[in-house]
Amino acid sequence: MSTSVKSLVSQPYKYGFVTDIESDSLPPGLSEDVIRLISAKKNEPEFMLNFRLRAYRQWLKMTEPNWAAVGYPSIDYQKIVYYSAPKQKDKLQSLDEVDPTLLETFEKLGISLSEQKRLSNVAVDAIFDSVSVATTFREKLAEKGVIFCPISEAVHDYPELIEKYLGSVVPVGDNYFAALNSAVFTDGSFVYIPKNTPCPMELSTYFRINNGESGQFERTLIVAEEGSSVTYLEGCTAPMFDTNQLHAAVVELVALDNAEIKYSTVQNWFAGDENGKGGIYNFVTKRGLCQGKNSKISWTQVETGSAITWKYPSCVLIGDNSVGEFYSVALTNHMQQADTGTKMVHIGKNTRSTIISKGISAGKSKNSYRGLVKVGPKAEGTRNYSQCDSMLIGDTAGANTFPYIQVQNNTAQVEHEASTSKIGEDQLFYFQQRGISMEDAISMMISGFCKDVFNQLPMEFAVEADRLLALKLEGSVG
Amino acid sequence: MIRENSDVILSVQDLVAEVEGTEILKGVTLKVRAGEIHTVMGLNGSGKSTFSKVLAGHPDYTVTGGTITYRGQDLLELEPEDRARAGIFLAFQYPLEIPGVSNLDFLRVAYNARQAHHGHEELDAFDFDELVRDKLDVVKMDASFLGRSVNEGFSGGEKKRNEILQMALLEPTLAILDETDSGLDIDALKIVAEGVNQLATPDNAMLVITHYQRLLNYVVPDYVHVMAGGRIVRTGGKELALELEERGYEWLSDVAEATAR
């Protein structure tokens, strides 16, 4: 692309404010004592402390993975604050008792926690730094037997479920960041959908990092019993700091016979400035287990933020006829780096998976798709379809595709398609010659490019995602 | 149609332009009045496509001398999208494919951009749908074209008809057709030509750039200009096109070289 297409200053990140709130933090650093302290602060049962210590001891023996196509200075894990909680009353009876400053923060982010907006029909768990501050619609959900609460509470209230499922999909020693998360996670959401129950409303968790030094380590666990279904949405923002913050979350999904889980993320962590200063390191492990026959897990993600994204939402298809899906849009601009994709592990018979990945790279960013399709020896009749499309904007961005295919059963059908396109100056000129501004032209082309993925998102989220991408690319071509 | 006192739509004076440091236009002068159809003919490399792109404001071309005045306004000051909104339309020689963007959306956004520019009301999806269906007749296009991505998988003829459809919709004041006839079979050529004839009014003007005389069997120009070596070396009536068809461009190229010296 010629000289007239160049990066200009992008739209400022509008969620970059810091909420001034008193917090209860541990000093930076990690040791067994810190872990014991976190566990004690949360008054956890013994099995949880043991879970954490097991993870920590494994973590000590592990090394940080370096196979992803991302580069960053090494992280000093002793400089991170592992526990930071907004100071508030210990037990909240209703939203009225939540610190109004916190509620204002979430209002500012466009998430109404006041249950006024019943029409919106979405239950929200709001997580501020490491602690869940409010979960809406809990009673209404409880009528159907649906549990939706902070995982810190679930540890006390449903210890048998937590003990059974926590770490069952992502074991404590699964990988470096998952082990770290297992050792120090402070909160997150827990969802349990009982047998034969379609969850009566969409569930949503909103994550907000506020503390400049704190890492955020949330843990999400969703269990869908036989014949149940749930749609879950996740949103993320953070203030602008010129230091990098670590976010190492773990999400585990379990779907039993005939159950269906749809998990959507719109990730908009602070990406750092145009020179690559600051931003979130988003090192996340997300995995779903299709344990039951005919079960289905579908991941949809729109990744627009973070300085570095390292994330592979995966499906382990154990149940016969189970289905795994991965729909992804990853946009990088300026100095952002993303290495994201999925793993589809076919173990059961007649399991099917679909991967649709759309990578958009602008500025000097690096955007890689990395995906594994693995078919085990007993996975008769497996089918996979993968499509990985990359779009480049300008000529200083990079895109890579790393597909790994391992097939051990000769009845499997595995298809992989990949394409790379470029928003070319001539295309832009064509739009302009019809009176359409360059920004609108890019936005239309991007929407078109991402259509297959946006169609998977709930309506409001799709509109939001569309707007977000346009905002992120504003000024990237000029 | 030539009328003595009709408004001057385009006035080009001693236009010099280059691409990547190579001078292509070496002093083009041309005046186009409302109601007129002008044809620019010439060999490949004579500068006629460059001329059309410079008028539309393609960023690869740099104007290094001369002036372009469009309806009294300095055209060179306007961004390409503002030129378009002000009524300049370029039918592309090679219309671009835009995957993922439906033809209907593309047309609506383009139409509304022009409406907004003129302070007119923008049309919603339903009203626009009605409007565009009427215009389809101009180029005998099927409504199924609207749902497809812009030009994607269109045949050469379909792409050119799509250009004329856009022109019908945007009702330009100055329409520039850059070799719209090239690569068309005779049926498509007739459809395109009929479209152009239907769209010509006493208030607008057309600049038809072509390599061959055959389009001129259907679109009758008021003026024929011959371009060679980056200049207009001869201007005449429609009979000049016929003369070119008979004698070729060679004799005029010699004239161009002579004048360059």
pLDDT band at residue B258, thresholds of 50, 70 and 90?
low
**What does the pLDDT average to over A74-100?**
69
Say whether A434 and B84 touch across the interface (CB within 8 A): yes
Q: How high is the pLDDT of residue B8? A: 95
B105 Cβ contact partners less than 8 Å away, ≥ 6 residues apart: A444
| B155-180 residue pLDDT tens | 988 999 999 999 999 999 999 999 98
**pLDDT digits 0-9 by tens, B192-248:** 898 889 999 999 999 999 988 888 889 999 999 999 999 999 999 988 888 888 887
Q: Determine what percent of chain A is predicted with pLDDT higher than 70.
A: 81
Q: Which of B54, B81, B98, B165 to mutate to test the interface with A (most CBs of A within 10 A)?
A: B81
- Confirm whether B164 is domain-assigned: no
Residue B198 resides in a domain: yes
pLDDT score, position A192: 97
> Do the domain assignments include residue B84?
yes
pLDDT-based confidence at residue A24 (cuts at 50, 70, 90): confident
User: What HEC string does B151-214 produce?
Assistant: CCCCCHHHHHHHHHHHHHHHCCCEEEEECCCCCCCHHHHHHHHHHHHHHCCCCCEEEEEECCCH
Q: What tokens were used for A358? A: 């759309």
CB atoms within 10 A of CB B201: 12
CA distance B259 to chain A (A): 34
Tell me what pLDDT residue A102 has.
62
**Any residues with CB less than 8 A from the CB of B98 and at least 6 apart, and which?**
A427, A430, A431, A444, A445, A448, B106, B149, B150, B151, B152
Section B54-58 average pLDDT:
96
pLDDT of residue B243: 86
* Token pair in block for residue B105: 């959306």
Report the pLDDT value the prediction gives residue A1, as an integer from 0 to 100: 30
Q: Which member of A425, A426, A435 has the closest CB to residue B81?
A: A435
DSSP letters for A206-262: EEE---SSB-B-BEEEEEE-TT-EEEEEEEEE----SSEEEE--EEEEEE-TT-EEE
A396 lies within 8 A of chain B by CB: no
Q: Which residues of B touch A426 (CB under 8 A)?
A: 96
Q: Print the domain residue range for B213.
A: 8-94+172-260
Q: Considering only alpha carbons, which residue of chain B is nearest residue A432?
A: B81
d(CA B200, CA A177): 68
Per-residue tokens: A300 = 């949809």
* The pLDDT value given to residue A423: 85
Those of residues 448-477 in A touching chain B at CB distance below 8 A are: 448-449, 451
Chains A–B, number of C-beta pairs less than 8 Å apart: 78
- Is pLDDT above 60 for A95? no
Average pLDDT of A266-287? 84
| Chain A interface mutation, best of B20, B94, B98, B162, highest count of A Cβ atoms under 10 Å | B98
What pLDDT was estimated at residue A109? 58
pLDDT, position B78: 96
Question: Residue A118: what pLDDT?
Answer: 41
Average pLDDT over residues A287-304: 95
For tokens 């990988």, the residue is A175
Among B49, B61, B96, pick the best mutation site for testing chain A contact (most A Cβ within 10 A).
B96
- Contact between chains at B113 and A437 (C-beta distance less than 8 A): yes
pLDDT at A28 (0 to 100): 86
A153-207 per-position pLDDT tens digit: 999 999 999 999 999 999 999 999 999 999 999 888 899 999 999 998 888 887 7
Which residues on neighbouring strands pair with residue A279, listed in sequence order? A244
- The pLDDT-based confidence of A387 (bands split at 50, 70, 90) is very high
- Whole-angstrom distance, CA of residue A458 vs CA of residue A462: 6
Dist. CA B114–CA B121, nearest whole Å: 10
Do the Cβ atoms of A425 and B100 come within 8 Å? no
Please report, for the domain that includes residue B12, its CATH number: 3.40.50.300
| CA-closest candidate to residue B66, choices B18, B106, B22, B33 | B18
Rounded to two decimals, the ipTM of the complex is 0.94
Could you report the per-residue pLDDT of A345-372, keeping only the tens digit for each? 999 999 999 999 999 998 889 999 999 9
- Please provide the average confidence, as pLDDT, over all residues in chain A: 84
Q: Which of A88-97, A385-394, A421-430, B84-93 is predicted most confidently?
A: B84-93
Instruction: Write out the E strands in chain B.
Output: 8-19, 22-33, 37-42, 61-70, 73-74, 88-91, 98-102, 149-150, 174-178, 205-210, 223-228, 231-236
Give the closest-approach CA distance of B202 to chain A in angstroms.
23
CB A271 within 8 A of CB A365: no
Query: What would the mean pLDDT of A23-28 be, rounded to a whole number?
Result: 78
Show Cβ contacts of residue B232 under 8 Å, excluding neighbours closer than 6 positions: B28, B29, B30, B40, B225, B226
Contacts of B166 in chain A (CB under 8 A): 434
User: Running DSSP on this structure, what letter comes out for residue B87?
Assistant: T
Q: Which amino acid is at B98?
A: I
The confidence score (pLDDT) of residue B245 equals 81
> What average pLDDT score do residues A298-327 get?
94
Q: Is the pLDDT of residue B259 over 60?
A: no
Structure confidence at residue A116 as a pLDDT band (50, 70, 90): very low
Position B44 scores a pLDDT of 85
Which of B58, B96, B113 is opposite residue A427, by nearest beta carbon?
B96
Domains of chain B: total: 1
Average of per-residue pLDDT across B118-141: 90
B67 or A214, greater pLDDT: B67
- Does A15 reach chain B within 8 Å, measured CB to CB? no
Banded pLDDT at A112 (limits 50, 70, 90) = low
Average pLDDT (A50-60) is: 96
Residue B105 confidence (pLDDT): 92
Instruction: Answer yes or no: is B152 within a domain.
Output: no
How does pLDDT run across A120-130, given as a tens digit for each residue? 455 667 776 65
Q: Which backbone phi and psi does B129 adopt, to 5 degrees?
A: -55, -45
Q: In chain A, what are the domain boundaries?
A: 23-89+148-194+209-422
> Tokens standing for B150?
């812009």
What pLDDT, on a 0 to 100 scale, did the predictor assign at position A144? 93
A425 touching B, CB under 8 A?
yes
Q: Minimal Cα–Cα distance from A435 to chain B, Å?
A: 4
- DSSP for A411-447 reads T-EEEEEEEEEEE-HHHHHHHHHTT--HHHHHHHHHH
